[in-house]
């Protein structure tokens, strides 16, 4: 199905067999390839969205016009008014060239997505999913989540007067569960892992006809997450960084980052895609460890970074394609390095990141220690969530002194 002489804004394309599908119907996975799926390897048949670049480029295309339209030309929705009223995206972009009062020979840029409405990067995907559901008439949206995606969907559905049903593993952090409940969503704790919650949500979608937000199942989530690439390009005055460090679990965020830059490439706004570094925890490296393996091998995950703790990376094949096609890089870091990175980040920048987000910063620190960052290079770190979402992970670092009598001499003793 070619878009060249087609009036559709976009089509779906299977990343495995290449078959294309009409966008007038709501699709999740390729009907043919998804039949091959099993419980011991990542799913096949993930769909990507392909836009009508021929139509867009017929006119004199300028990035400023693209930006002013809130990127509507390259989003799978038709009206800006369909998006939630909450401010999603356009998050802060900070530049630092010092750490611990020492001048760096390279530049650090922090993209702080903890400033989204529910304090995580996941709002980008939830906003598009919510808008699409609104335009298509779905009243209920379901998702499986370890916390962030669920609290994100719950919050944005609350803003849209939509019903959200969130299935979570019973071990999900209490701060994230609190958000889900406070937003008024229906929470369904599931005994077992995230994968168990994921599978139940798919069955519920089939049984009740709910719209499903799950990452690497719903192709629209990639489209929401890619907007961060448009913003980075804009915030760097229409130039590219040398590297972007991205925390990786199931592979959806990094695929979104790649997809955004690939769209800019197709629009002839950039000539290459920056080097993107996939950073995983050593305790949950099922994506990067298997990139060059013939057979997929699962190792049970055990990491402090719960948001990227994944046994079966659902978007493995798409992420693998992007990393290989665009010469991406990847690295793993220990839980100790993640906590240390969180401390360094907090004390030097005032940004308190959850472990999954600090994982990306730990990747940059590791590159620095290995002298892999060139002089004057520009390095972006994607900070995907607030540290307030998972206080348990840093409890061992807290050393709160005993209360003192309110006298100046007691204060002098305490601060000396």
Check whether residue 268 and residue 328 sit in a common domain: yes
Q: What is the pTM of this model?
A: 0.94
Check whether residue 295 and residue 349 sit in a common domain: yes
Residue 199 lies in a domain: yes
Could you tell me the pLDDT band of residue 4, with boundaries at 50, 70 and 90? low
242-269 pLDDT, tens digit per residue, is 999 999 999 999 999 999 999 999 999 9
Residue 206 lies in a domain: yes
Residue 73 lies in a domain: no
Check whether residue 256 and residue 391 sit in a common domain: yes
Average pLDDT, the chain: 92
396 vs 268, residue with greater confidence: 268
Closest-CA residue to 275 (of 341, 385, 373): 373
Q: Provide, rounded to the nearest whole percent, the portion of the chain with pLDDT above 90.
A: 75
Q: Which pLDDT score is estimated for 185?
A: 96
Residue 128 lies in a domain: yes
Residue 77 lies in a domain: no
> In b/e form, how buried is each residue of 121-155, taking b as 16+ CB within 10 angstroms?
bbbbbbbbbbbbbbeeebebbbbbbbbbbbbbbbb
Bridge-partner residues for 188, per DSSP? 167
Check whether residue 360 and residue 234 sit in a common domain: yes
Check whether residue 323 and residue 348 sit in a common domain: yes
135-187 pLDDT, tens digit per residue, is 999 999 999 987 788 999 999 999 999 999 999 988 777 777 888 999 999 99
Residue 405 lies in a domain: no
Check whether residue 381 and residue 321 sit in a common domain: yes
Check whether residue 210 and residue 353 sit in a common domain: no
Check whether residue 295 and residue 382 sit in a common domain: yes
Check whether residue 202 and residue 244 sit in a common domain: no
25-69 pLDDT, tens digit per residue, is 899 999 999 988 887 889 999 999 999 988 888 777 778 878 877
Check whether residue 134 and residue 254 sit in a common domain: no
Any idea what the CATH number is for the domain that residue 147 is in? 3.40.50.1100
| CA 73/CA 70 separation, integer angstroms | 8
Q: Is the pLDDT of residue 203 over 80?
A: yes
Check whether residue 164 and residue 254 sit in a common domain: no
Q: Which pLDDT score is estimated for 37?
A: 84
Structural domain range at position 393:
93-118+221-397
Total domains in the fold of the chain: 2
* Last residue within a domain, chosen from 219, 251, 277: 219
């Amino acid at each position: 199905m070619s878009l060249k002489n087609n009036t559709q804004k976009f089509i779906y394309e299977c990343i495995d067999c290449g078959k294309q599908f009409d966008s007038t119907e709501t699709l999740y996975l390729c009907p043919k390839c998804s039949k091959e799926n099993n419980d011991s390897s990542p799913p096949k048949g993930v769909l990507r969205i392909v836009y009508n670049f021929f139509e867009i480029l017929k006119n004199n295309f300028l990035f400023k016009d693209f930006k002013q339209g809130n990127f509507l030309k390259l989003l799978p929705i038709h009206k800006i008014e369909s998006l939630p009223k909450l401010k999603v995206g356009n998050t802060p972009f900070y530049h630092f060239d010092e750490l611990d009062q020492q001048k760096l020979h390279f530049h650090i840029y922090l993209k702080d997505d903890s400033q989204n409405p529910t304090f995580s990067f996941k709002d980008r995907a939830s906003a598009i999913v919510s808008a699409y559901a609104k335009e298509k008439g779905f009243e209920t949206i379901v998702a499986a989540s370890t916390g962030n995606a669920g609290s994100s969907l719950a919050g944005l559905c609350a803003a849209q007067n939509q019903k959200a049903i969130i299935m979570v593993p019973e071990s999900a952090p209490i701060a994230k569960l609190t958000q889900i409940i406070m937003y008024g969503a229906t929470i369904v704790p599931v005994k077992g892992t995230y994968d168990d919650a994921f599978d139940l949500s798919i069955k519920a979608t089939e049984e009740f006809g709910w719209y499903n937000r799950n990452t690497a199942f719903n192709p629209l989530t990639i489209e929401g997450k890619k907007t961060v690439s448009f913003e980075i390009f804009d915030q760097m005055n229409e130039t590219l960084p040398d590297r972007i460090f991205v925390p990786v679990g199931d592979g959806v965020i990094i695929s979104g980052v790649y997809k955004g830059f690939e769209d800019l490439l197709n629009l002839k706004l950039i000539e290459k895609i920056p080097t993107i570094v996939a950073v995983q925890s050593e305790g949950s490296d099922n994506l990067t460890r298997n990139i060059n393996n013939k057979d997929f091998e699962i190792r049970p995950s055990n990491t402090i970074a719960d948001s990227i703790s994944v046994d079966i990376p659902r978007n493995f094949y798409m992420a693998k394609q992007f990393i290989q096609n665009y010469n991406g890089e990847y690295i793993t870091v220990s839980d100790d390095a993640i906590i240390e990175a969180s401390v360094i980040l907090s004390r030097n920048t005032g940004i308190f990141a959850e472990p999954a987000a600090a994982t990306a910063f730990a990747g940059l620190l590791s590159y620095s220690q290995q002298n892999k960052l060139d002089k004057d290079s520009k390095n972006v770190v994607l900070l995907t969530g607030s540290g307030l979402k998972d206080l348990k992970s840093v409890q061992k670092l807290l050393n709160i002194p005993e209360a003192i009598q309110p006298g100046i001499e007691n204060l002098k003793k305490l601060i000396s």
